[in-house]
Amino acid sequence: MASWLLTALASIFVFGIVIFIHELGHFLTAKFSGITVEEFAIGMGPTLFRFKRKDTVYAIRLLPIGGFVSMEGEDEESDDEGSFTKAPVGNRILVTVAGACMNLILGFLVLIVVVSMESSIVSRTVAEFYPNASTQQHGLQVGDTILAVNGRRCFVANDVSYEFARTQEGTADLTVLRNGEKITLEDVVFETAEQDGQQYLVIDFKVYPIEKTVVNVLKEAGNWTLSLARMVILSFTDLVTGRIAVNNLSGPVGIVSAIGQASSLGLRPLLLLLALITINLGIFNLLPVPALDGGRLVFLILEAIRRKPIQQKYEIAVNAAGFVLLIGLMIFATFNDITKLLP
């Protein structure tokens, strides 16, 4: 199969399932809350296929880069009994956060599959050292389970590698579990190497495998979900604080490129990327930014505190401004992606 066709099919699969699950969360909770759903659409742009059942139009649209659930009174004033604004504020909060929650649940389910595909689960417990290992000389021992690096908890073995990659100096503080007791090893010295002008720590030890049982798989999938969620938050924080250059920001083109690379490596890397994308979407949507679910959530929380709604015209205006900013950010990210692809 041609690489471009494989990339196209894999991208449609990833974007399709992530968007569908997100919008399904909004749709189901809206229906449960008695809110009239006017349209449930997957994709954006011209309609390819549609049918109507009761009060709702179900549609597939041309561009697989988004989707929406259009509810009565969502973005305009309405006195209809099935209007979004007529529902209790608690129900509207549930409708608002349901999409992100469904994305996180999808990530957990996908990670169950990913972990199940592994021959064994990688632990964080040191099994042996390479000859002349620097970390062993500075306090790390066989049998130590790494709990945290530089004060950040490690949920899975990948977290250890990720935190080592974020460590710009040749030392790291390790919190380990040794004989049932938490011990902090300060300034553990690592060998360093350089790649593409950046230094990174060399991991000079091996870890034990964990037996793959149902309980261990579920636990590891849960830990992976927490790990990826925190990785998204840390990456966003690094971007805002300038630790990561803004030109590293990727948009749809960059995501499609990453999907193509993952799909060429096999099903497991593609599923792992799917889990990262859906968890990323869930967390990003809850940011308190206008035009995102998190922006609407702020208005609903304020309404619950004040015991009266903020005038809808103000919310609509703020969301419109936020939408313009998000479009600008997407254009900038897409420009970055295209620049990276050029020779």
How far apart, in whole angstroms, are the C-alpha atoms of residue 26 and residue 30? 6
**153 - beta bridge partners?**
148
Distance, in Å, from the CA atom of 212 to the CA atom of 220, rounded to the nearest integer, reads 10
**Of 23, 72, 163, 220, which one is the catalytic site residue?**
23
Q: Which of 109, 94, 96 is nearest to 17 (CA)?
A: 109
List beta partners, residue 175.
148, 184
Cα dist from 340 to 65, 72, 247, 333, whole Å: 21, 42, 10, 11
Helix, strand, coil content of the chain in percent (nearest 5): 55, 25, 25
Distance CA 284, CA 236 (A): 9
Q: Residue type at 19? A: I
Output DSSP code: residue 85: G
List of residues 6+ apart from 20 with CB closer than 8 A: 42, 67
Contacts 24+ apart (CB under 8 A), 321-328: 321/290, 322/289, 322/290, 322/291, 322/292, 322/295, 323/290, 323/291, 325/290, 325/291, 326/289, 326/291, 326/292
Distance CA 303, CA 129 (A): 58
Neighbour count for residue 170 (Cβ, 10 Å): 16
Determine whether 118 is an active site residue. Answer: no
Catalytic residue annotation: 23
